[in-house]
A and B are shown apart, each in its own frame.
Chain A
Amino acid sequence: MAVDVEPRRAAASDRPKAPSSALGRLLDSDLWWSFTRSPVTVTAAVVTLAYLLAALFAPLVTPQNPFDPASLVYADAFTPPAWTEDGMARYLLGTDDQGRDILSTLVYGARISLLVGFAAVLFSAVLGISLGILSGYVGGFVETLIMRTADIQLTVPGILIALMIDGVVRVQVGGEMDEKLAIMVLVVAIGISDWPKYARVTRGATLVERNKEYVQAARVIGIHPFLIMLRHILPNVMGPVLVIATIGLALAIISEATLSFLGVGMPPTTPSLGTLIRIGNNFLFSGEWWITFFPCLALVGLALSVNLLGDWLRDALNPKLR
């Protein structure tokens, strides 16, 4: 929606010969062309990439390791951002109640948020695509069972399902979770709450593909149905899945932040962006706005740029808009 529909470029016959290298093919593709034509998308991609790189190389880009007690100066707690009167140049965005540099906690927090986001998307995509292809290819009772479950689940907001799953695990372990378990539970909870979307789309695409000649040919020469689904149908249904996965990443990041904010996500010892907002929220009234404001900003920036990328991808891959 954010992308204007540009006039298509010259017909295929006028095009120079397709270059052979992978990079060359990418630069020559319609996708790349529509990408470079939308400044909003390019900005969003740059921002997303910056987040990814910062998260990946967190120890190298942060001025301080906020989780190493030795590097914390307790006397520096509640330092406001550097440009305010009481700010210190050392702490660009100020410090929190324990003297942790906000900028550093942000980078580490984004790392957790992205990790959970990607893992949750992967989890729900694998689950949803498998069930979707299975129900589209096999049909019958299997299809009814899977798709009815998906229908029912789609009527309930994902956050509620994620909360329920989180609650069940909490009951099993008796309240508190350590960080490894918390990450796993978040991934599974968010992943399960999002699979029906993937299942619906892949089932639809599979129904189209299964009647095409290449699938029938594969069936005639006696390839095992499992291999047909994996090698022949799967690659051909990945286009629409990519769009959902991108928007799903933004959703997963927001869901993770929400759960952490509600106090049922990442523990304060390994905070994600949501946990940081939860912690900072306690200091909002005493005037230390920066402790919660910058994590909010970081979260919105991340979610917005991923959303914009997803929006663009949807329009760019949508054959109706071509």
Chain B
Amino acid sequence: MVSYVIRRLLQAALVMLVVAFVSFSLFRFAGDPVNNMVGQEATQEDRRELRERLGLNDPFPVQFGRFVVDALQGEFGISYRLQRPVEDLIAERMPATLELVLVSAVLALITGIPLGVYCGIHRDSWVSRALLTVSLIGVSLPTFVIGILLIYLFSVQMLVLPSFGRGEVVQIGWWSTGFLTFSGWQALILPSITLSLFQLTLIMRLVRSEMLEVMRTDYIKFARARGLSNRAINFGHALKNTLVPVITIVGLNIGSLIAFSIITETVFNWPGMGLLFIKAVQFADVPIMAAYLTMVAFVFVSINLLVDLLYYAIDPRLKVDRGTAAGRLS
């Protein structure tokens, strides 16, 4: 177990180093940073001086080392377009994105799992057939199309929900939250539905197929023979054993929720990191791109690591070796 954890940690560090290298190459080889920072009227002397001050004349490994050290302290330089430190911009935008992702993930879980269980137990009922068909259409619907349709229905036709922004936010320290105001929740409804729909169909289909698999096993038959209630069998025995793959997928998908929030944020003009990033791509604002890439990669790697480690906590079968050694195998 310990050696496994260490190996995974080293792997994660290696991946992060590779990502840092890619981000750094963005800086180094994509356009001249000095040109991006000084105006047209700067003299050669100014440029040379700035070049020296920024350490751009140092050898490549030295510069890369400095980039990594800075990145570890959360410093990514100054945005070319907005002329402000990137870490401030990201800190400002992060709460919006994380709140959106959190609500979407919860939404996808609390609707996806019950629907999946239902479809798994009543596999031939027309309701589950209809749900499956709808979910296939859902997979083919791009996120932004869902968003546009929702906006048209609820904001343009019915005029009941806002179509852009976060509503009123309350500042708690550096964190701005939309959870504490009515308009904040109103503004969250459409974006979170848009973002969660794809994950919802994914979770539903996964839980369904896992349930179908588990329901065929001997221990479920045995549980029935023991005369346990359907409820105890379905939720206590069957659902519990489908959770490992579900947790993997959900965990890994929190990362993709952050990535897909780029699209949702664009559709709903949600002032999060995704919107910041897409503007950076459009205007070739390298520092923000590099910071976003590094940060998202960090989230991905941490989640991957966490999911792998969670396996041990959730699935007792993986602990078998230890269990037998301690004589606790029941």
Contacts and interface: CB of A to CB of B under 8 A. Distances in A.
Contacts of B284: 167, 170-171, 174-175
Contacts of B145: 277, 296, 299-300
Interface in B240-269: 252, 255-256, 259-260, 262-263, 266-267
A307 B137 CA distance: 9
Chain A: interface secondary structure?
helix
Interface in B271-299: 277-278, 280-284, 286, 289, 293, 296-297
Contacts of A172: 30-31
Contact of A170 (B136, B156, B252, B282): B282
B78 interface: no
Interface residues of A, number: 42
B118 interface: no
B280 A1 contact: no
A262 B156 CA distance: 21
Given A157-B259, A167-B289, A171-B30, A296 B148 contact: yes
Most B-side CB within 10 Å, residue of A163, A167, A285, A299:
A167
Given A155-B300, A156-B297, A168-B30, A281 B281 contact: no
Interface string A233-247: 000000000000000
B124 to A, nearest CB: 12
Given A170-B281, A171-B284, A263-B278, A1 B30 contact: no
Interface in A146-178: 152, 155-157, 159-160, 163-164, 166-168, 170-172, 174-175
A171 B282 contact: no
Nearest to A250: B140
Contacts of A299: 142, 145
Contacts of B304: 155
B148 A292 contact: yes
A307 B278 CA distance: 28
A159 B259 contact: yes
Nearest to B27: A171
Interface in B103-158: 132-133, 136-137, 139-145, 148-149, 151-152, 155-156
B314 interface: no
Given A155-B252, A157-B255, A300-B141, A277 B148 contact: yes
A97 B295 CA distance: 40
A73 interface: no
A262 B280 CA distance: 12
Interface stretch (A51-59, A116-124, A224-232, A253-261): A253-261
A82 interface: no
A171 B31 contact: yes
Given A166-B281, A284-B152, A293-B152, 16 more contacts: A152-B18, A155-B300, A157-B256, A157-B260, A159-B260, A159-B262, A159-B263, A160-B296, A167-B284, A258-B143, A258-B144, A264-B281, A287-B156, A300-B137, A300-B142, A308-B136
Interface of B: 15, 18, 26, 30-31, 132-133, 136-137, 139-145, 148-149, 151-152, 155-156, 163, 252, 255-256, 259-260, 262-263, 266-267, 277-278, 280-284, 286, 289, 293, 296-297, 300, 304
